[in-house]
Structure 1
């Protein structure tokens, strides 16, 4: 599957548990919504992904990607050390200046 470079970087950083490279995919003012919590800015996003990496050791396999204007939806199979693994999740991306400005993870 051919993915935009940013989405490839996002997946690669996630799958290699590289928190710094993961955070580098986001704008300074980005907002992430996941598991009922909101994380604002690179510092909070960094803490969120570090906790997620330690807690769940998840990896994602892209299944589908659709982009319209400044929004994209990545559908991926996510597996890790969490109940119900693997599951299919949708990563709703808001894009700005070739970075992710917003991310909402849904089931």
Structure 2
């Protein structure tokens, strides 16, 4: 069971990643991951930094959208959820996405993005 927290209470690596992702700072976003991290987005797994770099570069250029962090949840010391509201030119135009983070120390070991 998770508890709702103020978005400012998310761990620094998560807020740093979200800022880098939103500003399309590929190197800063990639630095937040462990070497063997896994990202799952749109049902596809991206394993390790080279695949995550490819995914980040494609995701940043595919659509134009705005994103607003609207909620955060703490599951335990290693698991957090950040909820983003997106609006843009992607199919459907509006969606709330849950970014489910698993941390390993001060890095992201896993990220699952889903509605």
Q: By how many angstroms is 1:61 displaced?
A: 1.3
1:40, CA displacement in angstroms? 0.2
Residue 95 of structure 2 is matched in structure 1 by 87
Question: Per the alignment, in what secondary structure is the counterpart of residue 17 of structure 1?
Answer: coil
- Name the Cα RMSD after superposition: 1.4
2:41 is the alignment partner of 1:56: no
Distance across 1 between alignment mates of 2:49 and 2:64? 20
In structure 1, distance between residues paired with 2:25 and 2:87 = 17
Matched, 1:104 2:112: yes
Aligned: 1:74 with 2:115: no
Cα drift, residue 59 of structure 1:
4.1
Q: Which runs of 5+ in 2 are unaligned?
A: 1-6
The aligned length equals: 107
Q: After the TM superposition, which segments of 4 or more aligned residues of structure 1 sit over 4 Å from their partners?
A: none
TM-score computed with the length of structure 1 as normaliser: 0.91
Structure 1 residue runs of 5 or longer lacking an equivalent are: none
Question: Which residue does 1:33 correspond to in 2?
Answer: 40
Query: CA contact under 8 A between 1:55 and 1:81: conserved in structure 2?
Result: no
* Deviation by residue 1:45-99 (Cα, 9 ceiling, x = unmatched): 0000100111023443111111212111111112333122221000111001111
Give me the TM-score of the superposition, normalised by structure 2. 0.85
